[in-house]
């Protein structure tokens, strides 16, 4: 349906300004050639020419990458080491040229990519300030105006006239960041180098980045600090082996990245990232499902009746409450064969012990989160979640994950009760 403005349109009125992209990557790839052996003599050079294919390897740091950063937008780039994040910054700043594809950059670029980039270790801090200014196309007079502010922000004071080769990594970063933000860039590129600074200076840098955002500057921020990316950035991309795996809202991209890490064999998320992933998942589910509580539906599968349905060793029946079950781990799974027309998964659950009040958790179907549940007491509650499109001829794997379990001794329980999750009476599909 077309919409109309309430204000009249006049033939002489100028057309509204359209937001243009400050940075545009279109199907960009970057290839490096790795040489595994270097000739030590002319003879080895000649022989090596005959066996070149064995001594060199192609590495595609980026492969078909496309994205846009609008003017005034801040893009966060996340991913594991070696995924191509820094390569993107070097392509934007023209340190590297793409092997294929096109890159458009609209505006003056200032970059803080690597410690020591653009610096000469034998020159003093003062001399390096002017050297960087000339590289960026600024005259000595223009740098004279900016010099005092650069030194003040970097907090180098008496070290400014000492050679950079005696600087610590933190001092390098201070000087580099101070120069980068004081040359009036349109586009600011920031790599993970901020991590080497002390906490007070990092806060100072982040405050300056916030100020740049308010001024409408365009920024690209590469970092492993996911909470900072989430807080500062308008958009994010997750790179893996030179390809974009997820792009868009930072919350979504960070969740996708952490969830992928969680699934990889041999990878364990640290406590900070586990908490962040759980928080993002709670937010996603709240936006998508709401409370998930419904009235009780007809039972199709009663859990505990058939041990063959149980996949994980955590399940065991509670003798005095058949067929109600608990489990001894944070996760337990079972197989269900849904009806051909099934579209929902439902369950009845409650907190079995006062020590577990309140309790919360999530429900997965074939490894995909379909909903969450919150329990506050021993009163049974019914929850229902929409099913993904299943293969009607195959059983589905339902996994329930609780946020916490208890150690029996700490909860005043006998040792034979082991750890407890929640009590589940029924699970069914309809």
The pLDDT tens digits for 1-24 are 222 222 222 233 333 344 578 999
pLDDT, mean of residues 373-396: 80
User: Does 417 lie in the same domain as 377?
Assistant: yes
User: Does 230 lie in the same domain as 85?
Assistant: yes
User: Does 330 lie in the same domain as 270?
Assistant: no
Question: Is position 173 within any domain?
Answer: no
The pLDDT tens digits for 26-39 are 999 999 987 666 66
User: Does 203 lie in the same domain as 314?
Assistant: no
User: Does 221 lie in the same domain as 83?
Assistant: yes
The full length of the chain comes to 430
Task: Check: CB of residue 207 under 8 Å from CB of residue 153.
Answer: no
Q: What is the CA radius of gyration of the chain?
A: 29
pLDDT, residue 8, reads 28
User: Does 409 lie in the same domain as 274?
Assistant: no
Question: Is position 410 within any domain?
Answer: yes
Interatomic CA distance for residues 223 and 256, integer angstroms:
16
Question: Is position 154 within any domain?
Answer: no
User: Does 345 lie in the same domain as 196?
Assistant: no
pLDDT, mean of residues 134-151: 85
* CATH at 375: 2.60.120.260
User: Does 314 lie in the same domain as 231?
Assistant: no
Question: Is position 272 within any domain?
Answer: yes
Share above pLDDT 90 across residues of the chain, in percent, rounded to a whole number:
18
Interatomic CA distance for residues 180 and 67, integer angstroms:
24
Question: Is position 128 within any domain?
Answer: no
Structure tokens at 102: 């096109």
| Among candidate residues 249, 282, 315, the one where a domain is terminated | 282
- Quick one: pLDDT band at residue 291, thresholds 50, 70, 90? very low
Neighbours of 288 (CB within 10 A): 14
User: What is the tally of structural domains in the chain?
Assistant: 2
pLDDT, mean of residues 321-339: 61
* CATH at 93: 3.40.50.300
User: Does 62 lie in the same domain as 211?
Assistant: yes
The pLDDT tens digits for 155-206 are 888 888 888 888 887 888 888 888 888 888 899 998 876 666 677 888 888 8
Q: Which domain holds residue 238?
A: 21-107+186-282
User: Does 313 lie in the same domain as 195?
Assistant: no
């Amino acid at each position: 349906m077309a919409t109309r403005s309430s204000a009249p349109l006049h033939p002489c009125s100028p057309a509204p300004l359209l937001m243009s992209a400050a940075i545009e990557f279109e199907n960009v790839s970057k290839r490096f050639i790795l040489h595994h052996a270097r000739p030590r003599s002319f003879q080895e050079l000649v022989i090596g020419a005959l066996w070149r294919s064995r001594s060199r390897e192609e590495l595609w740091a980026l492969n078909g990458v496309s994205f846009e950063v609008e003017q005034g937008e801040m893009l966060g780039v996340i991913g594991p080491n070696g995924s191509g994040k820094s390569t993107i910054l070097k392509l934007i700043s023209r340190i590297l040229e793409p092997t294929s594809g096109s890159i458009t950059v609209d505006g003056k670029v200032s970059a803080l990519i690597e410690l020591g980039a653009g610096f000469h270790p034998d020159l003093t801090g003062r001399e390096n300030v002017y050297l960087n200014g000339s590289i960026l196309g600024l005259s000595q007079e223009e740098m004279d105006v900016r010099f005092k502010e650069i030194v003040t922000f970097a907090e180098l004071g008496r070290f400014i006239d000492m050679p950079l080769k005696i600087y610590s990594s933190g001092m390098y970063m201070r000087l580099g960041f101070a120069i980068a933000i004081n040359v009036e860039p349109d586009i600011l590129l920031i790599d993970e180098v901020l991590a080497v600074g002390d906490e007070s200076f990092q806060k100072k840098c982040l405050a300056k980045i916030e100020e740049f955002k308010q001024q409408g500057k365009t920024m690209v921020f590469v970092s492993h600090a996911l909470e900072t990316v989430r807080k500062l950035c308008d958009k994010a991309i997750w790179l893996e082996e030179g390809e974009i795996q997820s792009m868009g809202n930072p919350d979504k991209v960070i969740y996708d990245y952490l969830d992928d890490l969680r699934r990889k064999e041999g990878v364990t998320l640290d406590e900070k990232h586990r908490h962040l992933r759980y928080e993002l998942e709670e937010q996603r589910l709240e936006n998508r499902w709401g409370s998930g509580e419904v009235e009780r539906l007809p039972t199709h599968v009663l859990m505990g009746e058939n041990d063959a349905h149980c996949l994980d060793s955590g399940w065991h029946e509670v003798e005095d409450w058949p067929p109600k079950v608990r489990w001894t781990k944070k996760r337990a799974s079972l197989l269900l064969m849904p009806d051909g027309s099934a579209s929902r998964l439902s369950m009845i659950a409650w907190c079995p012990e006062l020590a577990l009040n309140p309790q919360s958790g999530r429900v997965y179907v074939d490894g995909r989160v379909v909903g969450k549940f919150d329990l506050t007491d021993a009163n049974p509650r019914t929850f229902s979640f929409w099913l993904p499109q299943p293969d009607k001829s195959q059983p589905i794997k339902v996994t329930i994950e609780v946020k916490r379990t208890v150690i029996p001794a700490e909860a005043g329980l006998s040792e034979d009760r082991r750890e407890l999750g929640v009590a589940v009476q029924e699970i069914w599909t309809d």
